[in-house]
Amino acid sequence: MHGKTCLGSSFKMKFLWLGGVCLVALSLAAAQEPAQMPLGQTQDQLQQSQAQTQAQNPPAPEQKPAPAPDSQKPDEPKPKTSIERETGTSNDRIFEVMPNYGTVRNSKDLPPMTAGQKYRTATAQVFDYFAFPFNAALAGIGQAQNSPKSWGQGWGAYGKRFGATFADNSIGTYMTTAIWPSLLKEDPRYYRKSEGGTKRRILYSVGRLFVTRTDTGGTRFNASEAIGNSMATGLSNFYHAREDRTFARNFETLGMLYMWDGLSNELKEFWPDIKRKFKHKKPAEDH
């Protein structure tokens, strides 16, 4: 009974953390309004002003422009990596730090991903620099709740919790992004809807957990997500504490894997809207 209580409180803590992130992100996206054009001069006034300026300041002799520096402007998109170019995806980091691998910013036809590209995408996600503080925070929650109790406290116990959390998420990522999509010929990329109302896009993002594209361009049940997360949950029994090898803990792990994937889809869908809100830019076509 005590074990179930600890597991329940752990799940609630992580769920509240997830809910807070979703609430902030979706509130910013829903609040976005198209930026209004500033009031300017009329067309006639503008032409007269240009004519007066040209009369007063005759054009200077044409000069060759100086070579542009090799530095990148802040608003310019970052150069794409080879895997992004090959798969038509864009790792436009969410809040500038969270990974955004495998996101397709339009629905144009793309060549199917090869098995090697699926494994490279999964590897990039697993060993992204953000994965380490993210799993460290989850391990900290387990440490604060002393769950599982048999691991106790101290740095050794924290290391076990970090290792278990890192393994849960990493195995789940490889299963749902590389192994099963390669075997079942499914496309692990996330295709943004990017239009329509907020509620419709939220439902679309959640629906991608259960419906996916195939390598041939069709749609079907997302078997890679279901089988992959289920297998990752089963494998977790080999490295979790003996007291955690229960149905309740397995169900919690499966729920957490689905929950993080759902949050990832929501952020991938709405991040461009949130980004424009922060920069006060007009909506532009994704390309």
| C-alpha to C-alpha distances, 152 to 39, 49, 212, nearest whole angstrom | 65, 77, 42
Question: What's residue 236's pLDDT?
Answer: 92
**Cα(267)–Cα(269) distance, rounded to whole angstroms?**
5
Residue with tokens 């691991």: 151
DSSP 163-228: HHHHHHHHHHHHIIIIIHHHHHTEE--EE----S-HHHHHHHHHHTTTEEEETTS-EEE-HHHHHH
54 in a domain, yes or no?
no
Residue 3: inside a domain, yes or no? Answer: no
Res. 73: pLDDT tops 60? no
Domain that holds residue 255: 80-278
- State yes or no: pLDDT of 238 exceeds 80: yes
pLDDT > 80? residue 173 = yes
Q: How confident is the model at residue 274 (pLDDT cuts 50, 70, 90)?
A: confident
Q: For residue 21, is it within any domain?
A: no
Q: What is the per-residue pLDDT for 39?
A: 41
**Which residues, other chains included, contact 247 with Cβ-Cβ below 8 Å and sequence gap of 6+?**
none
Q: What is the mean pLDDT of residues 36-59?
A: 52
Calpha distance 28→18 (Å, rounded): 16
DSSP for 56-91, please give it: HSPPPPP-PPPPPPSPPPTTSPPPPPHHHHHHT---
* Residue 98 in this model has a pLDDT that exceeds 80: yes
Residue 184: what pLDDT?
96
Antiparallel, parallel or unpaired: β 103-104 and 219-221: unpaired
Give 23's contacts (C-beta < 8 A, 6+ positions apart).
none
Q: Is 72 within the bounds of a domain?
A: no
- pLDDT bin (cut points 50, 70, 90) of residue 51 is low
pLDDT top residue among 159 and 61:
159
* CA 221/CA 210 separation, integer angstroms: 6
Query: In whole angstroms, what is the distance from residue 270 CA to residue 29 CA?
Result: 6
Q: Is residue 1 part of a domain?
A: no
Number of domains in the chain: 1
User: Is residue 286 in some structural domain?
Assistant: no
